[in-house]
Chain A
Amino acid sequence: MTDLAYLSVADAAELLRSKKLSPVEYTRALISRAEKYDGRLNAFLRLTPEIALEDARRAEDEILNGNWRGPFHGVPYALKDIVDYEGIATTAHSKILRDNIAKSDAAVTEKLRAAGGVFMGKLSTHEFACGGPSFDLPWPPARNPWNREHFCGGSSSGAGAATAAGFVPAAIGTDTGGSVRNPAGMCGVVGMKPTYGVVSRRGVFPLAFSLDHVGALTRTVRDNALLLDLIAGHDPSDPGSTHQPTGGYAARLEQDIRGIRIGVVRHFYTQDKQGDEEMVAAVEAAIEQLASLGCRVSEVRMAPLDVYAACYRNIMESEAYAIHEKWMQERPGDYGELARGRIMAGAFVRGADYVNATRARRQLVDAFATVMREINVVVTANSFDPACRIDDEKTLAHTFRRQARTPFSVTGSPAISVPAGFSKSGLPLAIQIAGAPFSEALLYRVAYAYEQSTAWGQKRPALE
């Protein structure tokens, strides 16, 4: 039998459907692995083995009776702990919400449960999806499976760590300013931030309403496409939910990418900021690889990173402060220092600055649309540095801003992080592929072709 810990969703689905693998056996293997190793990684805030085994037994009965529901039937998954699962606390990794029992499922949870998924538990996050790796919270921060002394990215930190560590093949994260793509890049897994509105935010604790996206972290591009196929779609109870058609992502993965026009946004990581040498080399090697696969590569320019950052800051900080104002007035001491500082930054943003940032945002969206008229997808860096040590506060603060994720948060367009190698010290490196709104299928095709032409995704962290 294949190593169950690193079975892909697609391979597991085939084994489960054909009854060659028992959902109960599969689930027990992953529970054992998480129980054995997660004390060192803290990916889970709460592991739920009883629920997982109940879900697995139900899936087993249904599959044995010929009622296979689809690729997530009997497949374990976990949720970032700002996503509601009925009857389980959604804590946002914060003392503030320690006893906040969810009254109903989030929209994504409903879909995963309806698909027969096996719920493994709630995953670590930066506090309220905006703090950082903090040691002053009720639970410790998640650590990087490739080197537990290092940061695993965030804010969907547990989602990145759990997927890379082989605790689950798929996890749900959220991305406001890069919180799916950052841990995906730092943990060596695949993370997609879909177009704003493609996945419902209902039942997900907000950070900034106009910037929040729900996304998937998986070990393979195909699994990511399968998960987005499942969770995408209009939800009338999410006012930002799109009416555009969604889905069909996995079905189109293997379509030819020859002739696809790639625009490299090189100024992000060579001029606006200078990326780490190994990271830049990995991005450039990936671009050459895509060219060798038949893509037409040219260089394009977008607005400077500082412009996107200024726009993002004004909007995110204002919206986040509005959400947290009451608690900040009544319980400021119940926040960790990092989250409190980031949320407080919105306390005195002027109304005119917030409105002007949203006006500038529209200009940036329009400018990006103009860039996309000449090309099909954008390729650029994700983080500009490999993961630093988790206890190195100064470097954490420095590298926090050294990334090219914010532009696609501001434009609301889809962007995916794909593994692109390892540093000399053995830490994952990544590229980012982005595109026009609702071009997820194309991004997955390019990412899949690249992934299939490299062996980065086959390397595993040593957890011993």
Chain B
Amino acid sequence: MSDTPLTLEEIRVMAEGIGLNELSDKQLEQLRQVTNIKRTQSSSALFASLGPADEPANVFGLTASEEGKQS
């Protein structure tokens, strides 16, 4: 989270860093706007109660194959 909005040049460098090289100036401006909005959206209330042992929701459970059951 940051209070300082990114400039168009800053977002251009960031975009190129992740392979977004084909964006027009208008699309870069759109990326700048959505990224700046995201930087102002706080997730701190969401993450405040997480302790080190809190597991993600998408940790999967494996099931044994027939071979696994027999071993």
Contact = CB atoms under 8 A, between A and B. Distances in A.
Interface of A: 210, 239, 306-307, 310-311, 313-314, 317, 325, 328-333, 337, 340-342, 344-345, 347-349, 353, 355-363, 365
Contacts of A313: 41
Contact of B54 (A210, A310, A341, A359): A359
Contacts of B46: 307, 310-311, 314, 356-357, 360
B70 to A, nearest CB: 20
B69 to A, nearest CB: 16
Given A310-B45, A332-B23, A358 B58 contact: yes
Q: Which of B34, B41, B60 has the most CB of A within 10 A?
A: B34
B50 A363 contact: yes
A360 B50 contact: yes
Contacts of A340: 27, 30
Nearest to A311: B46
Interface of B: 14-15, 18-24, 27, 30-31, 33-35, 37-38, 41-43, 45-47, 49-50, 54-58, 60
B34 A344 contact: yes
B50 A359 contact: yes
A212 to B, nearest CB: 13
A345 B22 contact: no
Contacts of B47: 356, 359-360
Contacts of A345: 34-35, 37-38
Majority secondary structure of chain B interface residues (helix, strand, loop or mixed):
loop
B68 to A, nearest CB: 16
A210 B60 CA distance: 11
Contacts of B15: 347
Nearest to B45: A307
> Interface majority SS on A: helix, strand, loop or mixed?
helix
By Cβ-Cβ distance, the 10 closest A-B pairs, closest first, are A358-B56, A361-B57, A362-B57, A345-B34, A310-B46, A329-B19, A359-B54, A360-B46, A310-B43, A356-B47
A360 B42 CA distance: 14
A330 B45 contact: no
A254 to B, nearest CB: 36
B54 A363 contact: yes
Nearest to A352: B47
A332 B23 CA distance: 6
B18 A347 contact: yes
A229 to B, nearest CB: 26
A362 B41 CA distance: 21
A363 B35 contact: no
Nearest to A321: B18
Nearest to A304: B45
